[in-house]
């Protein structure tokens, strides 16, 4: 079964809001084994909307629209689709009562325009909206179906989950189960070379690698009548990939690297502290953004200037004068100073040149030193990172997290 997501709204075409609805619906459809081949966006224009709808119905089994179900004049989705599918709009007294009740509960006055929301296409299945005034509906036409949902995500998502998902699940009789293998420390091309035979002969499960923010994700997906059968197909392939990629795989549940490190700190009852220069607290922010971080994070220093490195961490001025603030020696003194100033068992220092300026032939933009101590073991690694300032800072944090993970697990650095 195939589906197309058709978003309606000129504001989307103008870039005034992002089309997060399409992302959400695609993710949920994937769980049902429904393939999405097209996302379309059309403005509030009746002729173009009708044309786009007909094209979508020609090539897809299910068309899911979002937006254009409100009470204003430019909310045309329901009217245009009803006309295109030769359905009359029929008044529903019970819907009007729900709309009135909504306004009463909000202590607002209902204007006459809202009455149009009580008209639904004939012989359609109404989708209740508990968070707004615009109900959705499903129109079935032979083997095809058009599902209309409102645009606001806080209305659309509950309606999809409570009404549309069960409706589609009954139609498909299939579930789609995925494992998201997150990989760091190996390039995409090398990763692909290790998996190429699996990728080339894939069928069910399918294997889909992609890259984002310096890490690789391999999505392995099985489509079966039930989850248990899907896992029987899925697990051997996942285990094969993990064996081939080894400890470059840090999660098979799609977790972020900071979540994996957080879990390890929590499991081993370890506390972490940071001293950051070029990353400016980004690493500490990644950890403390997670619920329960107070149990695994002690404190973080942002020692951006040379003076702060000396004053806050006890780095020797002579070390900075001789080797520079961006050096192995300074990174090690930063992490050792952190160990003395905190009771944390895991200490991390980062110093580098994030750019775009400040680089020299000897120390170019992207040079980063990371010092990490776990217990009595202290290591310092240097990296030549590429990209803009944001990419370099993010890359430094990712590498620091990976070193922590490896040290806690006793893996090679």
**To 5 degrees, how large is the angle CA 204–CA 199–CA 244?**
110
Residues 165, 188 within the same domain: no
The pLDDT, as a whole number, for residue 31 is 84
Q: Mark the ranges of the chain whose per-residue pLDDT is less than 70.
A: none
Which pLDDT score, from 0 to 100, does residue 215 have?
85
CB 387 within 8 A of CB 403: no
Q: Verify that 233 and 313 share a domain, yes or no.
A: no
Return the pLDDT at 20: 96
pLDDT digits (tens, 9 = 90+) for 151-198: 999 999 999 999 999 999 999 888 888 899 999 999 888 999 999 999
Residues 83, 64, single domain; the answer is yes
**pLDDT of the residue at 131:** 93
CA dihedral 257, 261, 262, 265 (to 10 degrees): 180
Greatest C-alpha distance within the chain: 84
Alpha-carbon gap, residue 113 to 148, rounded angstroms: 19
Q: What are phi and psi of 262, to 5 degrees?
A: -55, -45
Enter the tokens of residue 403: 């070193």
Using an 8 Å Cβ cutoff, are 230 and 177 in contact? yes
* Per-residue pLDDT at 69: 94
Strand residues in 98-161 grouped as ranges (E) = 119-121, 125-127, 136-141, 144-149
* pLDDT, position 285: 98
Q: Which domain holds residue 206?
A: 178-251
Residue-level pLDDT at 213: 74
* pLDDT at res. 138: 98
168/46 same-domain check: yes
* 156 and 38 in a common domain: yes
- Final residue in a domain of this structure, among 146, 172, 198: 172
Question: Is residue 246 located within the same domain as residue 357?
Answer: no
- Do residues 11 and 155 both lie within one domain? yes
Q: What is the pTM of this model?
A: 0.77
Q: Show Cβ contacts of residue 114 under 8 Å, excluding neighbours closer than 6 positions.
A: 71, 99, 103, 133
Same domain flag for 390 and 318: yes
178 alpha-carbon distance from chain centroid: 15
Residue where a domain terminates, one of 229, 251, 273: 251
pLDDT recorded at residue 32 = 86
Residues 333 and 375 in one domain: yes
Cis geometry, peptide bond prior to residue 59 (ω within 30 degrees of 0): no
Q: How many domains does the structure of the chain reveal?
A: 3
The answer on 198 and 153 residing in a single domain is no
pLDDT in tens, 279-293: 999 999 999 999 999
259-276 pLDDT tens trace? 999 999 999 999 999 999
pLDDT of residue 30: 86
Let me know: does 38 contact 97? Beta carbons within 8 Å. no
Q: Are 230 and 375 in contact (CB under 8 A)?
A: no
Q: Which of 251, 271, 286 is the last residue of a domain?
A: 251
């Amino acid at each position: 079964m195939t589906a197309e997501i058709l978003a309606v709204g000129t504001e989307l075409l103008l870039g005034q809001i992002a089309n997060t609805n399409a992302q959400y619906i695609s993710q949920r459809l994937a769980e049902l084994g429904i393939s999405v081949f097209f996302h379309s966006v059309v403005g509030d224009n009746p002729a173009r909307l009708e044309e786009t709808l007909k094209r979508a119905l020609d090539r897809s089994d299910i068309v899911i629209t979002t937006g254009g179900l409100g009470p204003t004049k430019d909310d045309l989705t329901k009217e245009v689709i009803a006309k295109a599918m030769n359905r009359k709009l029929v008044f529903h007294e019970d819907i009007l009562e729900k709309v009135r009740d909504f306004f009463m509960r909000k202590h607002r006055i209902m204007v006459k325009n809202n009455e149009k929301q009580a008209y639904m296409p004939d012989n359609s299945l109404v989708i209740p909206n508990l968070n707004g005034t615009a109900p959705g509906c499903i129109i079935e036409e032979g083997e095809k179906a058009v599902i209309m949902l409102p645009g606001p995500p806080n209305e659309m998502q509950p309606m999809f989950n409570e009404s549309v998902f069960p409706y589609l699940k009954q139609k498909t009789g299939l579930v789609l189960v995925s494992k998201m293998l997150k990989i760091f420390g190996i390039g995409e091309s090398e990763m692909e070379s290790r998996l190429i035979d699996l990728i080339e002969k894939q069928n069910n499960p399918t294997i889909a690698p992609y890259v984002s923010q310096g890490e690789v994700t391999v999505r392995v997906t099985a489509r079966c009548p039930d989850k248990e059968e899907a896992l029987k197909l899925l697990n051997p392939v996942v285990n094969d990939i993990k064996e081939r990629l080894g400890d470059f795989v840090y999660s098979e549940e799609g977790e972020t690297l900071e979540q994996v490190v957080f879990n390890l700190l929590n499991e081993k009852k370890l506390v972490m502290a940071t001293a950051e220069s070029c990353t400016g607290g980004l690493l500490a922010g990644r950890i403390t953004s997670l619920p329960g971080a107070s149990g695994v994070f002690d404190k973080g220093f942002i020692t951006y200037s040379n003076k702060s490195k000396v004053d806050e961490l006890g780095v020797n001025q002579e070390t900075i004068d001789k080797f520079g603030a961006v050096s192995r020696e300074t990174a090690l003194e930063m992490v050792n100073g952190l160990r003395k100033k905190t009771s944390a068992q895991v200490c991390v220092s980062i110093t580098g040149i994030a750019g775009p300026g400040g680089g020299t032939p000897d120390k170019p933009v992207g040079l980063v030193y990371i010092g990490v101590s776990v217990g009595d073991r202290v290591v310092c690694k240097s990296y030549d990172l590429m990209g803009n300032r944001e990419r370099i800072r993010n890359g430094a944090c990712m590498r620091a997290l990976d070193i922590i993970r490896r040290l806690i697990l006793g893996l090679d650095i």
